[in-house]
Structure 1
Amino acid sequence: MSDGLAAVNAEPFDETLLDDEEALAHADETLRALAESGARVRREAYAAKQVERGLVELDRPRAVVAAGADARLLRAVLEPWCPVPFVAWPGPGLPGWVGALDLVVVLAPTGGDPETASAVYDAVRRGSAVLLAAPENSPLVEAGRGRDTVVVPAQTGDPLALAVVVLQVLHTLGIGPELSAETVASALDEVASRCSPFLDLSANPAKDIALVLADALPLLWGGSVLAARAGRRVAETLRRMTNRPALASEADHLLPVLEGAPPRDLFADPFADIESPPLRPALLIFDDGAEQPVIQESRQRLLDMAESRDVRAKIVSWTEGPEVARYAALQALGTYAAVYLAVGLGRFQPRT
């Protein structure tokens, strides 16, 4: 198999831990934080209520540059809609052409880092309008204060919650689609309800995904821009939670990995003394309801290849609500699955 994935061997996975109260208790802090995702969106939205008044005097910018946490989420949402050029800039600093006619949006939910700070300093120095989302008492806000700076007071340290609220604020400027933070919060609440640790394997979609990935290397794909981004974020979480590889990419990059999957040995003795058999891939498809023909064609190619190589495939769907709510729900579903996979692998067990 390509990309070095064949070199990884399986660790013991105990599916009974997914419904074991004691095992789940060790992951309580992580699961509780996930369950509070919707509340964090509401808290950020409430704190930002007064921000729109500060935008009244701002004219429509010549261009928008976004920097900081989840700037690429803003790009994914705004690019198809924004009436002016939009750039997600990784930093440091800002592009050379940015000036007084442009708007710089900076997301720093925990106060920022040197690269984010350099974008703020550059924007103030060049006289750009600045929409700065950061904790009010952070040095970044003090450095960025100015006549053309509007501060969104970050409350929770949650990049997604803050990005949702900034998108809602940008709609006021006419450079983003209408977005209700409450619809995103409600979607996250619904995911938390469906993926609760108190629901057993038969009724919990996240535990079911974890079971699919128990002895597998995850390959994640989403057809729309936002579904693909949700897949990338979930892959990051899977790698962090399980110390296993996880690959999120375009269909053309995943197809060779599927094609290279070794055939399953139908005659293998399940009771043979194999301490850690090699992992085979499993395909997760993130479906947010996008129905463009090119997306449907790519999805079918992946499913057909998976079937031909006897690779397990799972479609993770959330097609309710506006696109940002669907994105948030897919990311949350995948994150719950990553936590349950880590529980089954014993990652949350106390080390002796």
Structure 2
Amino acid sequence: MPFFDDSLLDDPTALAAADGMLRRLAQAGARIRIEAEQAAAALSAVVELPRPRAVIAAGSEARLIRSMLEPSCPVPFLAWPRHGLPGWVGALDLVVVLATDGADANLVATAREAIRRGSQLIIACPQPSVIAERVSGRDAIMLPTKTGDTLAAAVIVLAALHRMQLGPIVDAEAVAGAFDRVAEDCSPYVDVAENPAKDLALGLAETQPLVWGGSVLASRASRRVAETLRAASGRAALAADAGELVPVLASVTRKDLFDDPFENPQPSERRPALVILDDGTGDQLTNSWQNRLREVADAADVRVCPIYCTSGGDLDRYAGLLQTGLFGAVYLAVGLGRSIWQD
């Protein structure tokens, strides 16, 4: 098993090896600004669209859009995971396609099916691209994308849906600012003592991560963070609801007080660590679940690694939680000396 070397987190040579991943994370805010500028003219066109009977979203980050819209959308919303469309979709409905690579065959088929049925259609995609060419000249609004960043494109789509009075206010500049603040706080030039992402990596150094987010958006972020932790560490990392994590934590045996870590620096089985994503929006039930998770973790002597982001709009807080977790995953890979993930 790779040994975690915490000295690498402030080592210029080790951090330079991860520069590509760290730089891409740091530039997330800039990519949102680029996409907002690209789509400025197209965003004004969506205001003229009539309110649809229902909204169907397909493609990358469709589930994030669902998480944002479901609490306030005045019409039914569906995130559709397959090519084509449900049988009931017709001319009264709005189909949103997020195709940042512009060539996914399933998304091309979905867009063409929406055109065939006479549905309203919004497509976020590069121009030129395969999907733009296939629906060229049709009754569709194109939100041109440039960076290939799926989350940046989702921010622009959410801004468009707000202008149609289908979702909450989404300020692209505010979201970009949230990403920028995390990039500053989690910069490789900020040492371990003041860097929340490096602190997270230290907490997860020799553990099996369990990730939980209480709100709808924090739960969405937890799955993205767990996915990235798996890639960074080569270990299993589970994101799940509290009801599923409680029995996992309850089954953990407390550490032996007489166990000598110098005699056995790398035990055959890794202990879990609980990562809690808290966006400050939890209701009484969510807060009680968090308290329960902490109680069970404490009883089992399981380390708790909280990530807090409680200011700004819903999407700003989501950005803060997600990005801190992603930076933490990169630093975990650095400490483990894993370079393959950075390719």
TM-score by length of 2: 0.97
Instruction: Tell me the equivalent position of 1:340.
Output: 331
Instruction: Tell me the equivalent position of 1:305.
Output: 296
C-alpha contact (below 8 Å) 2:210/2:274 kept by paired residues: yes
Deviation at 1:112, TM superposition (A): 4.3
Matches for 1:317-328 after TM superposition, within 5 Å: 317-328=308-319
Deviation at 1:256, TM superposition (A): 1.1
State the distance in 2 between where 1:271 and 1:38 align.
Answer: 44
Q: Is 1:72 aligned to residue 63 of structure 2?
A: yes
Q: Is 1:269 aligned to residue 260 of structure 2?
A: yes
Instruction: Give the residue type in structure 1 aligned to 2:185.
Output: R
State the distance in 1 between where 2:159 and 2:260 align.
Answer: 57
C-alpha contact (below 8 Å) 1:23/1:348 kept by paired residues: no
State the distance in 1 between where 2:261 and 2:169 align.
Answer: 55
SS at match of 2:224: helix
C-alpha contact (below 8 Å) 1:67/1:107 kept by paired residues: yes
Q: Is 1:239 aligned to residue 239 of structure 2?
A: no
C-alpha contact (below 8 Å) 2:232/2:341 kept by paired residues: no
C-alpha contact (below 8 Å) 1:234/1:334 kept by paired residues: yes
Instruction: Tell me the equivalent position of 1:286.
Output: 277
State the distance in 2 between where 1:232 and 1:207 align.
Answer: 20
C-alpha contact (below 8 Å) 1:94/1:123 kept by paired residues: yes
State the distance in 1 between where 2:264 and 2:182 align.
Answer: 40
SS at match of 2:153: helix
TM-score by length of 1: 0.94
Q: Is 1:164 aligned to residue 155 of structure 2?
A: yes
C-alpha contact (below 8 Å) 1:26/1:349 kept by paired residues: no
1:266-311 per-position Cα deviation (integer Å, ceiling 9, x unaligned): 2112222565531100001100011310010000000000000000
Q: Is 1:44 aligned to residue 35 of structure 2?
A: yes
State the distance in 1 between where 2:291 and 2:5 align.
Answer: 32
Instruction: Tell me the equivalent position of 2:12.
Output: 21
C-alpha contact (below 8 Å) 1:112/1:134 kept by paired residues: no
Q: Which moved more, 1:288-297 or 1:186-195?
A: 288-297
1:106-133 per-position Cα deviation (integer Å, ceiling 9, x unaligned): 0011214222222112111111111000
Q: Is 1:258 aligned to residue 252 of structure 2?
A: no
Q: Which moved more, 1:48-57 or 1:222-231?
A: 48-57
Q: Is 1:127 aligned to residue 149 of structure 2?
A: no
Matches for 1:221-240 after TM superposition, within 5 Å: 221-240=212-231
Structure 1: which 5+ residue stretches go unaligned?
1-9
Given the superposition, is the C-alpha separation of residues 165 and 304 from structure 1 closer, same or farther in structure 2, using an over 3 Å criterion? Answer: same
Q: Which moved more, 1:142-151 or 1:76-85?
A: 142-151
Given the superposition, is the C-alpha separation of residues 273 and 65 from structure 1 closer, same or farther in structure 2, using an over 3 Å criterion? Answer: closer
Given the superposition, is the C-alpha separation of residues 349 and 59 from structure 1 closer, same or farther in structure 2, using an over 3 Å criterion? Answer: closer
Instruction: Give the residue type in structure 1 aligned to 2:269.
Output: P
State the distance in 1 between where 2:136 and 2:74 align.
Answer: 27
Instruction: Tell me the equivalent position of 1:249.
Output: 240
Q: Which moved more, 1:47-56 or 1:236-245?
A: 47-56
Deviation at 1:146, TM superposition (A): 4.1
Given the superposition, is the C-alpha separation of residues 274 and 13 from structure 1 closer, same or farther in structure 2, using an over 3 Å criterion? Answer: closer
1:124-148 per-position Cα deviation (integer Å, ceiling 9, x unaligned): 1111111000001110111123442
Instruction: Tell me the equivalent position of 1:100.
Output: 91
State the distance in 2 between where 1:45 and 1:299 align.
Answer: 36
State the distance in 1 between where 2:85 and 2:319 align.
Answer: 28
SS at match of 1:50: helix
State the distance in 1 between where 2:257 and 2:43 align.
Answer: 63
Instruction: Tell me the equivalent position of 1:88.
Output: 79
State the distance in 2 between where 1:224 and 1:168 align.
Answer: 21
SS at match of 1:60: coil
C-alpha contact (below 8 Å) 1:262/1:280 kept by paired residues: no
State the distance in 2 between where 1:145 and 1:63 align.
Answer: 24
- Structure 1 consecutive aligned stretches of length 4 or more whose deviation exceeds 3 Å: 273-277
Instruction: Tell me the equivalent position of 1:110.
Output: 101
Given the superposition, is the C-alpha separation of residues 39 and 350 from structure 1 closer, same or farther in structure 2, using an over 3 Å criterion? Answer: closer
State the distance in 2 between where 1:274 and 1:216 align.
Answer: 13
State the distance in 2 between where 1:205 and 1:318 align.
Answer: 11
State the distance in 2 between where 1:193 and 1:234 align.
Answer: 19
State the distance in 2 between where 1:168 and 1:215 align.
Answer: 41
SS at match of 1:55: helix
Percent identity (aligned): 52
SS at match of 1:18: helix
